[in-house]
Amino acid sequence: MTMDVQEVMTEMGRSARAAARVLASCSVEQRNEALLQIRAAIAADRHAILAANEMDLEQGRESGLEAALLDRLALTPAQLDVLEQGLSQVAALPDPIGAISDMRQMPSGIDVGTMRVPLGVIGMIYESRPNVTIEAASLCLKAGNAVILRGGSEAIQCNKRLGDSLAAGLSAAGLPAEVAQVVPVVDRAAVRALLTMPECVDMVVPRGGKGLIERVAAESKVPVLAHLDGVCHVYIDADADRDKAHRIALNAKTQRYGTCNTMETLLMAKAQADMLPDLVTALQSEGVEVRGCEASRQAAPDITVDAVEADWSTEYLAPILSVKLVDDVDEAMSHIARYGSNHTESIVTENASTAERFLREVDSGSVMHNASTRFADGFEYGLGAEIGISTGKLHARGPVGLEGLTSRKYIVKGDGHIRQ
Amino acid sequence: MTMDVQEVMTEMGRSARAAARVLASCSVEQRNEALLQIRAAIAADRHAILAANEMDLEQGRESGLEAALLDRLALTPAQLDVLEQGLSQVAALPDPIGAISDMRQMPSGIDVGTMRVPLGVIGMIYESRPNVTIEAASLCLKAGNAVILRGGSEAIQCNKRLGDSLAAGLSAAGLPAEVAQVVPVVDRAAVRALLTMPECVDMVVPRGGKGLIERVAAESKVPVLAHLDGVCHVYIDADADRDKAHRIALNAKTQRYGTCNTMETLLMAKAQADMLPDLVTALQSEGVEVRGCEASRQAAPDITVDAVEADWSTEYLAPILSVKLVDDVDEAMSHIARYGSNHTESIVTENASTAERFLREVDSGSVMHNASTRFADGFEYGLGAEIGISTGKLHARGPVGLEGLTSRKYIVKGDGHIRQ
């Protein structure tokens, strides 16, 4: 069985590589046409897609999947509408590839510049939500990449049906169906195979829980674009405007709890300690459990829970916040360097030079001044789309849009030039 | 013993990470001052450095190192002069970090842009030539990175002595000596340790033979910037200018044999076959052994060696060339996709649309039109310096200068902005 899986995956990898070569030579008009044909195919296949999703849900209920997972697994007609609109929106985005930039003449007489090109083949590994199948495929296609889609076993029927719609749309636009392939087997050996074919797969994008990301990062022989944790900080400086500080801290924690750019630890200069009680009251009235260091508990007696060492490196993804009082921006940056996850940190201050130091020295994908960490998002950054968020420092960092799915190569133009 | 090596490396990694944080907050003036202080330290330590190199050479002769290796190991006074000048040149290069670009206001009111920042800690793994110690350290320092330098065991005395000069120069400029550390042990466990500390090392740059690169790529848990092979192609199209084609092919093969951007396979459109005999004569008179496919041997009977399957994927690094006649640009590009190493390929043609297809579709770090592959080089591209060449598609590709030693992060500026 495992042997067969390896064969299936090797063949998918090879055909994806070949499809990527075809795709690299086709125009943006053809790629956009494919996106619209996929939209049409999904519209035509609507009932079959929803029926396949119903089969997955039934299977999930039988095998005792918990309610939250069933909820994420469900694909509603309204969500299908959103998916269809999304395809048109991606088609309308500017072409991320082909542009030549920085062309300059060198002393030797040659002209040198760079061209944006597709990466090649992307491996997507994700859980539950079947709409990722279409969202990821559309972004990869727009950037000129072939994609191999490996969703969760619980969504296999719906994903396979969506794969048929992808194939139909691609074929209708004259492109190989292998541009976007859904892995048809649920065996975990398929994931291992996908992660160990660097000759066929150029980058892997895992989306899901921390367990999934950790497994992928540990096993992969292919570069991985991902973020493991989002332990995001807001630091309220001694020179902060208190009104802005209160507003930003409240928003960064309470606007949504389950997102990776939600604040998990609030750092506050001791000079601001007397604004803490009001802030704690506001957080608690939103249902947030506040855990504090000793100094913060003295400043705000309403904090009844001690923050322990483990709190500083925990991504709660829940209405819980840890609070620490610090001397100054240096102690705040040291804390972030030690416990942070290089995701998103924000300083609230009216002191321009303190802000500049924080922006320059904090080593995170997004560093902010007087803004809520919740803004760390591809759409809020004007990227038009988001394939994921990266806390790695190489290639793409922070929210990753279409550009993160591309590469650059050097272009050299001569007229018979040779090296002396 | 191995346990001790692990401890030594862990401590080096930790102190490099701490030094990188100090470096990230210091000005370009301070980094340039450190480069000049290192130059002064090397000048002051000249005799000790040359004496240490003499010890390595003696040890090498005793242990029977071959002449070519001894030659690469030797550090001459003239080479020390070049190293010293190089430090001043790197100091004079523009600052690669700190610049904020693409700052734009979003509909929400926040301003979003990106800032160039150091990568953090670089691990250099290299062989023989001790001057790499200083060259690599100077580029890492200029880009605001700490570096851990692991040279070949045969150069250990000289490298350790150069490490002392690096430390002296850094200290004189008020920077931690741990910004540039030479690994003091020759145990191979040190390499393994360096490759498995992603928490302390952000990128590894191996420089040396194919065996070294393969081992590093296979073992590393840290991103690797490298090129394995340079199987570079020149394709002479049916619409080529024959004079340019002859000149470029000759230069791409014979200007230097041991470099990774030297042509190893010549592809020629059948329509040009009657220019092959003259070209073969010219190559052979330079001492090049020409190996041909059947059709090329018919076109040029002076080719007396058959090219076999293995030839098409071999980087000779020697005066040997394989030649293949092809129907057209499509067959040339298929051959390159199958046998090439994604390093550097060049088309010779006067047909603008054929050239455009080749430039767009060939998936290599450098793609050229009417120019010799020998131009694929950081200095020829105006990068000011070169840390290596990458055939990977992520992060940095082709010749890599200071920019490849940096990362970008998002900068967000608000005025109390919160997400709705």
pLDDT of B67-104, one tens digit each?
988 999 999 999 999 999 999 999 999 999 999 998 99
Nearest CA-CA distance, residue A156 and chain B, Å: 31
Decide: helix, strand or coil at residue B187.
Answer: coil
Q: Which residues of B touch A407 (CB under 8 A)?
A: 393-394, 397
What pLDDT is stored for residue A251 in this prediction?
A: 98
Residue given tokens 């350790």 in the structure block = B160
Starting at the edge strand found earlier in the chain, the sheet holding A146-150 runs A180-182, A146-150, A121-126, A203-207
| Cross-chain Cβ contact A370/B397 below 8 Å | no
What pLDDT is stored for residue B68 in this prediction?
A: 86
Q: Report the alpha-carbon distance of residue A82 to residue A4 in Å, rounded.
A: 37
What pLDDT is stored for residue A3 in this prediction?
A: 61
> Does B3 have pLDDT greater than 80?
no
As a whole number, mean pLDDT of residues A397-418 equals 96
Element (H or E) spanning B179, and its range?
none
> Which residues neighbour B60 within 8 Å (Cβ) at sequence distance 6 or greater?
B69, B70, B73, B154
What pLDDT is stored for residue A209 in this prediction?
A: 86
| Cross-chain Cβ contact B412/A106 below 8 Å | no
Q: Dig out the tokens for A115 from the structure.
A: 């061209």
Q: Dig out the tokens for A34 from the structure.
A: 């494919």
What's this model's pTM, rounded to 2 decimal places? 0.91
- For residue A2, what pLDDT band results from cuts at 50, 70 and 90? low
What pLDDT is stored for residue A114 in this prediction?
A: 96
Q: Report the alpha-carbon distance of residue A131 to residue A127 in Å, rounded.
A: 10
* Contact in structure between A235 and A263 (CB atoms under 8 Å): no
> Does A96 have pLDDT greater than 70?
yes
* CB count in 10 Å sphere of residue A238: 16
What pLDDT is stored for residue B227 in this prediction?
A: 84
> Which residues neighbour B90 within 8 Å (Cβ) at sequence distance 6 or greater?
B35, B138, B139, B142, B385
Q: Dig out the tokens for A153 from the structure.
A: 């076993």
> Which residues neighbour A59 within 8 Å (Cβ) at sequence distance 6 or greater?
A154, A157
Work out the mean pLDDT of chain B and round it to a whole number. Answer: 95
* Contact in structure between A218 and A137 (CB atoms under 8 Å): no
As a whole number, mean pLDDT of residues A272-280 equals 98
What pLDDT is stored for residue A160 in this prediction?
A: 97
Q: How far lies A340's CA from each of A365, A399, B310, in Å? A: 11, 17, 50
* CB count in 10 Å sphere of residue B127: 19
> Does B205 have pLDDT greater than 80?
yes
> Does B1 have pLDDT greater than 60?
no
Decide: helix, strand or coil at residue B324.
Answer: strand
Work out the mean pLDDT of chain A and round it to a whole number. Answer: 95
What pLDDT is stored for residue A167 in this prediction?
A: 98
ipTM rounded to 2 decimals: 0.92
Q: Report the alpha-carbon distance of residue A88 to residue A90 in Å, rounded.
A: 5
Q: Which residues of B touch A250 (CB under 8 A)?
A: 418
Overall size of chain B counted in residues = 420
Q: Which residues of A touch B371 (CB under 8 A)?
A: 110, 412-414, 416-418
Q: How far lies B31's CA from each of A319, B34, B136, in Å? A: 44, 5, 14
What pLDDT is stored for residue B268 in this prediction?
A: 98
What pLDDT is stored for residue A252 in this prediction?
A: 98
Dihedral (CA of A64, A70, A76, A80) sign:
negative
H helix runs in B93-209, sequence order? 131-142, 156-172, 189-195
Q: Dig out the tokens for B281 from the structure.
A: 């004569």
Element (H or E) spanning B288, and its range?
none
Which residue among B241, B337, B359 sits closest to A411, beta carbon to beta carbon?
Answer: B359
> Does B350 have pLDDT greater than 90?
yes
As a whole number, mean pLDDT of residues A81-85 equals 94
| Cross-chain Cβ contact B359/A115 below 8 Å | yes
What pLDDT is stored for residue A398 in this prediction?
A: 94
Burial letters A289-313, b for 16+ CB under 10 A, else e: ebbbbebbbebbeebeeebeeebbe
Q: What pairs with residue B347 in β-bridges?
A: B235, B369
Q: Report the alpha-carbon distance of residue A64 to residue A61 in Å, rounded.
A: 5
Q: Report the alpha-carbon distance of residue B205 to residue B212 in Å, rounded.
A: 11
Q: Report the alpha-carbon distance of residue B205 to residue B137 in Å, rounded.
A: 12
| Cross-chain Cβ contact B419/A374 below 8 Å | yes
Which residue among B394, B408, B416 sits closest to A248, beta carbon to beta carbon?
Answer: B416
| Cross-chain Cβ contact A393/B119 below 8 Å | yes
Nearest CA-CA distance, residue B224 and chain A, Å: 10
| Cross-chain Cβ contact B106/A381 below 8 Å | yes
| Cross-chain Cβ contact B419/A106 below 8 Å | no
> Does A128 have pLDDT greater than 90?
no
Pick A254 or A385 by higher pLDDT.
A254
Residue of A nearest to B256 (CA): A419
Q: How far lies A8's CA from each of A136, A143, A162, A183, A324, in Å? A: 21, 26, 19, 9, 53
Residue B294 backbone phi and psi in degrees, to 5: -60, -45
- For residue B2, what pLDDT band results from cuts at 50, 70 and 90? low
> Does A278 have pLDDT greater than 90?
yes
